[in-house]
Structure 1
Amino acid sequence: MHDIAYIRSNPQEFDAALARRGAEPVADRIIALDAHKREATTRVQQAQSRRNEASKAIGQAMGQGNKDKAEALKAEVAEIKTSMPEWEEAERAAAAELDHLLATLPNLPAADVPDGADESDNVEIAQWGEKRSFDFEPREHADIGPALGMDFETGTKLSGARFTFLRGDIARLHRALAQFMLDKQTRENGYTECNPPVLVGDEAMYGTDKLPKFAEDSFRTTDDRWLVPTSEVPLTYSVAGDILPDLAQPIRLTAHTLCFRSEAGSAGRDTRGFIRQHQFEKVEMVSICLPEDSDAEHERMTKCAEGILEALELPYRRMLLCTGDMGFGARKTYDLEVWLPGQGAYREISSCSNTGDFQARRMNARYRPEGEKKTAFVHTLNGSGLAVGRTLVAVMENYQQADGSVTVPEALAPYMGGVTKLEPAA
């Protein structure tokens, strides 16, 4: 959500920032709607005030025996009651149109975000790790996975396309990855582990900018709840409506949950394998902090995600997303892309975003600056630490052996109960 006061004061700057994200200029329309709403609100308040005054005056006139005055006042009250609904409806209509318009506008990009149309305009910031040299032709995970227990056929039989059934040691490796990520984020990086619901209401989805923009990309139940696309939704919305008393240190939350996405906009993409599923798991990181701390917190969060990849010795690169590839609610985003030798390409495995006060305004999450009576909006950030399924894919492709087996990364040894290698079925 955007600050109306800022738009009124800086209409050209607001439109220019939206233009960087490919949006049409709307400041004049927003200002006109806001003015209409405020005029209607004023009319309603004036009418209510006059109605109350006239109602009191009726009793006084009756007490003084002035029937003519009392009747005139009654007629005035009746006229006010007749005209008020029109202004109340005008106020509701203007507010609804304004809220809808603001809800469909993306966040404004930070000044250092590069302009661009799509992912081809993203900027590489850094690379880490050496790509492994193979003495055989490395294969994609979808080709080596079935012999290791990655059962695509049963997943499809049970639930349709983009579902997978994991069996045996590969299921254990998937679980080990999630446990390892949680332990890193909680024991080393200072995040508080949470176990939130994965069914949420409209308010939580709207407050975290998933509605109305991404309704088609999410699953909705018959009782009007939503399956979360990421635990960013419940973790961030947990502070909705709050005035947080102490943000000297950011609030840092993490959770490992199931996530659900309809992938409505990805027809034909990654139809093979485990990359793009309707149901998947992620370890999410969320931070709530003071506005002046959010840039540093963004860097810190991204490093926490990078630490997982480095511990697993998976080569990756950090990308700064351009305006055309950045998420709807983000003002700045780093993507981490892991090297997949089977595909011969880098693929996204984590996205860490600073949303500024965009989500906080939508869900009314505030703090009270020291020494001030007025409250201000917090800043919120979210990032994957990491996507569990995609990390499993990266381990499979980077640690594969010529015979189709996969060596377990050393960092995961404490979680694997003595299993050091995934062996293909005979």
Structure 2
Amino acid sequence: MKRVVEYIVALSLATTAALANNSIVAVKVDKDISNLKCGDKLIKEYAKFQEIVLYPQTTIKLNDKKANELNQNPKAKKVKVAALYDGKSVAIVVKWSDSTKDIQKGNKSDIYADGFAVQFANNPKDPNKLPYIGMGSKNRPVVIYLQKAVERVYEPNGDGIVGYQVNPHNINRFGKDLKKFEKRVDDLAIKDYQKAFISEGFRSMTEIKDKSASFNADMHYVDSKKMWGGMVVKPLKDQYLNLESGAFPIAVAVWDGKKLNRDGLKHLSGWIAVKLPDRNGGKALIEAVNEKVKGDIAKGKEIAITNCASCHRFKGAQDAPIYMAPDLSNIGGQTTAGYIRESIVDPNAVIVPGYNRNAHPNFAWYMIDDKGNRTSTMPPFDWLDQKSLNDLIAFMQTQKAEVEK
């Protein structure tokens, strides 16, 4: 049996171009990939990388003046993504350029790490109603695997070992005894930052600490190419995700520590369909993440200026207060046509919590009804006729940053 089995896939798409945008085909290998690492020969020889564009996250603005200044007018970023699987596990591999290698240090509070994350939709039933791309939404959870570049740092662990959290200069140890102490500190140190979270929207991210999310992550910087490589490997099926269908959705994010990127200040892809070539199904998902609505963009802009610009900001409309509503400047690069359509006609379906309501009480993005449910402050535009709706969606799909060269 050959080491790698590549399948010719009949995806039955309307056009072959649809597969090229937000879809990748996984390559099946006949070797266990659960312990795969960056730079392994298997990746170099068999990974089929697809170029994916990540757009700056502009839905909300970070409360950091310096960071915002460093990230003014950000451009979209090209990365390369590939997928491998062995029948039991899947590996998502990402490569992206970065002129500097930024490592987070435990003794610095103003230095941030380069990093990346892979987000999976938690078993979505309807490909036209995927979770909100920014950390999911209520009843549409996501699982996020995050890897950061950090130096070794000692922190007290769950066993209560705190005696080694002491500066070596403040202990009564010398010579070989001191070396033993320092080795023990190094053995106990956190050598890697890889975490798994489950989330249903802003400020709901919950770390999975009980080791029930089995996964492996890694990242490596290639100095000669000024490039990071990162990967996440996880089982096709666990208690959080079932990826054994014909295709499943992922999203990719990267952070640039030099530009003080962290939290929501990042570059983020839209939903990407990963096709497993030896499994049936997946056509509807692939079509959903690649749908381009046909409409009159000029008419759509007129509708947006008339109906959306008083609350939302987007290209050609910057009069609304910054905190009033989600910034739509990159909605065309990070969301599906289905998400835009649903948000227009039924804004209560997915509610983005927005800014801290205590800090910005005059700009609440939602209200709470008598039953404790959140309802959007945006009215439904379900009165739009089909042509006007398509025109508006077609215009919104043009809202995305220029891609850096």
TM-score range, shorter chain: under 0.3
Per the normalisation by structure 2, the TM-score is: 0.25
Q: Which has the higher helix share?
A: 1
Larger Rg: 1
Which fold has the larger relative contact order, with Cα–Cα distance below 8 Å and residues 6 or more apart in sequence? 2
